[in-house]
Amino acid sequence: MIWNPNKECMSRDEMSSLQGKRLHKIVEYVYHNVPFYRNKLQEMDITPDDIQTIEDIVKLPFTTKKDLRDNYPFKLQAAPQSQIIRIHASSGTTGNPTIVGYTRKDIGVWSECMARCLTAYGIGRDDIFSVSYGYGLFTGGLGAHNGVEMVGAAVVPASTGNTEKHAKLIRDLGITGIACTPSYALYLAETMDRLGITKDDIKLKVGAFGAEPWTESMRKEIQERLGLKGYNLYGLSEIMGPSVSYECMMQNGSHINEDHFYPEIINPVTEETLPYGQSGELVFTTLTKEGMPLLRYRTRDLCSLMDGRCECGRTSVRMSAITGRSDDMLIIRGINVFPSQVESVVLSMKEFAPRYLLIVDRINNLDTLQIQVELRQEYFTATFDTPAAIDELQKRLAAKLRSVLSIGVNVQLKAPNSIERSQGKSVHVIDNRKLV
């Protein structure tokens, strides 16, 4: 089944022509509505009339997360505030989150893109579908939710947390599909084992897994333990949220909704565009977005693109699994964490030296984050034998980190000069999970 064969199965010529028209329109739109883009285009001596075909895209400037941060909160918004009906936010590299506003039309496009994903997974009106991404500022919950409603399945807005109750609901309601992070799926399997619920007691057949990298061996394990078929679901909040791309039954790359999100692969160092098949950094241009359209947004995700008709009948360009990042962003329990966020907290507290280490692990299928921070010598000497003061400081740091990172951390205060120094560039992260 295909949700929108007119778009998902277009010939390459038709798709390129549609993309070219939409690109021209979006450039014109941002030129007149976003001073940031107008200035950039004027500096490069480009007018919207210079952009007529999709190949002209290489003339356009890139947009980075820093641009979003510098224009916090609304300066990249193109639509008037009265047209915005939803605002989401995701982690910024330091203090401010990235804010994305959506118009009613954007929410409609997003729902349709998500409906395309779910249809590709085999979800339809008869299904009962649990959305176990977080609801809230994160795009996972509400984004998936709207798509499930659009395909007409019954949505169970389970969100995250309370896994035992969720496991019982999966059994008792006969839930047939679930959207969650792949690591949560494994945690769910473990919880079911503990509760004595076997895969014969449940009816799950589809898992829509994303928001973090996962491997083929994780896919195998989840499929085996939950008795379902696990499909990739990719997206990022700056571009839309979940539904930028999705796997079909062939499970051979993720189809990009390229009538809305135009993909390119670039060399992250030279910024030159790379041909299909080569690995590099994924870049997206939103072709139809009204709230906050972005030109050539550098996702920092590393992957490659595949052209050509898929055996499922779709003709859209597919992307490979994400193999890494061209920056240092970590995804811990589905939440994006930048070491620079930790650094800004550490530097804001006078008791600490600017020496810290993030240690990420996966224990019983749950990601853990330990943060080690060195005390300054003066503070260490003054408080060496007052454990209550150290304890208070540790709690204060943990609370600050939790509020900035949105996840709980295990904080370890260290004596001065005790965190191992590296020879070259300082190492701030040790990731013991083997994700790629």
* Residues at the interface with ligand DLL (CB under 6 A): 90, 133, 139-140, 210-213, 232-237, 241-242, 299, 301, 322, 331, 336
Record the tokens describing residue 88, joined without a space.
Answer: 């989401």
Rounded CA separation 98/103 (Å): 17
CB of 194 to ligand DLL, least distance (A): 26
CB of 211 to ligand DLL, least distance (A): 4
Partners of 358 in the β-ladder: 371, 429
Among candidate residues 232, 278, 277, the one with its CA nearest the CA of residue 256: 232
Helix/strand/coil for 104: helix
Record the tokens describing residue 145, joined without a space.
Answer: 């939710």
CB nearer to ligand DLL: give 24 or 333.
333
CB nearer to ligand DLL: give 73 or 213.
213
The residue nearest ligand DLL at its CB is 210
CB of 58 to ligand DLL, least distance (A): 22
CB of 56 to ligand DLL, least distance (A): 26
Output b/e per residue, 58-68; b: 16+ Cβ within 10 A.
eebebbbbebb
Rounded CA separation 433/436 (Å): 9
Q: Phi and psi of 337, rounded to 5°?
A: -130, 125
CB nearer to ligand DLL: give 156 or 346.
156
CB nearer to ligand DLL: give 20 or 241.
241
CB of 43 to ligand DLL, least distance (A): 28
Record the tokens describing residue 176, joined without a space.
Answer: 């047939």
Amino acid code (one letter) for 350: K
CB of 213 to ligand DLL, least distance (A): 4
244 neighbors 257 (Cβ within 8 angstroms): yes
Q: Return the C-alpha torsion angle 99, 105, 110, 114, nearest 10.
A: 160
CB nearer to ligand DLL: give 315 or 336.
336
CB of 242 to ligand DLL, least distance (A): 4
CB nearer to ligand DLL: give 176 or 254.
254
CB of 30 to ligand DLL, least distance (A): 21
CB of 203 to ligand DLL, least distance (A): 22
134 neighbors 140 (Cβ within 8 angstroms): yes
CB of 377 to ligand DLL, least distance (A): 39
Rounded CA separation 205/199 (Å): 10
CB nearer to ligand DLL: give 10 or 142.
142
CB nearer to ligand DLL: give 90 or 368.
90
* DSSP one-letter code for 422: P
CB nearer to ligand DLL: give 10 or 99.
99
Q: 272-275 contacts: CB < 8 A, separation 24 or more?
A: 273/58
**E strand spans, 228-351:** 229-236, 241-247, 254-256, 261-266, 273-274, 280-286, 297-303, 305-306, 318-319, 324-325, 330-332, 335-337
CB nearer to ligand DLL: give 160 or 336.
336
What distance lies between CA 302 and its chain's CA centroid?
13
How many angstroms separate the Cα of 133 from the Cα of each of 138, 141, 142, 231?
A: 8, 5, 8, 15
